[in-house]
Amino acid sequence: MPRSTFSRDFITSLRAHQARVSITPSTVRAQGKGTMHVARDFIASELDLAKLRVSSERRYLAQLDKATDALRRHLKGKAKSWGLARKLLNIYIRDCVYSRMLCAHYRLERIEPFLGLPLDGVVGQALGTAAIARGQHHRLPRWKSIRRLTPEQSALYQGFATELVAEAGHARVHLDVVIWGGR
């Protein structure tokens, strides 16, 4: 898809709209008052989507780690966790890829294979159930909470999700749609 010719103001407005649609009250449930607005503001104005458009998963993860740390520093109180920051970024970036206009403007189609599965209690439980069904209950740590999720635990969940979708023929990020869509 060719790069868009939209004005900077339109793209800024579209990014803010996408942040409002992606980061909702249910996304930040029980994370503290004001968390949703702080996250939306940071994601819409501070996150540089162009820096995420890289050619390898290793480079993508390096940029995502920087963005995760930056968002975590902006969050307040109990919401100031690596797990929540990563979840919110994964949701927003996925939704930008799903947005025809933002995807075209930032040429995000190339990073689709690198996108992380947005992890939360529902997804963590579903992956745990899948691991048990495959006789691999030892593969994943027991899900505790998004606030207690560490980068190491996230990597285990992401790796298992990658194996699950290899058979389905789509990127692991889309497993979120399958899990939540089946509820």
Categorize the per-residue pLDDT at 141 as very low, low, confident or very high, splitting at 50, 70 and 90: very high
Categorize the per-residue pLDDT at 69 as very low, low, confident or very high, splitting at 50, 70 and 90: very high
What is the pTM (predicted TM-score) of this model?
A: 0.91
| Residue-wise pLDDT tens digits, 14-60 | 999 999 999 999 888 887 788 899 999 999 999 999 999 999 999 99
Domain coordinates in residue numbering, the chain: 8-114, 121-181
Min mean pLDDT across 5-9, 90-94, 146-150 is at 5-9
Does the pLDDT value for residue 85 go beyond 70?
yes
Rounded to an integer, the average pLDDT of 153-173 is 91
Reduced 3-state DSSP string for the chain: CCCCCCCHHHHHHHHHHHHHHHCCCCCCCCCCCCHHHHHHHHHHHCCCHHHHCCCCHHHHHHHHHHHHHHHHHHCCHHHCCHHHHHHHHHHHHHHHHHCHHHHHHHCHHHHHHHCCCCCCHHHHHHHHHHHHHCCCHHHCCCCCCCCCCCHHHHHHHHHHHHHHHHCCCCCHHHHHHHHHHCC
Rounded to an integer, the average pLDDT of 140-152 is 93
Q: pLDDT at position 4, please?
A: 60
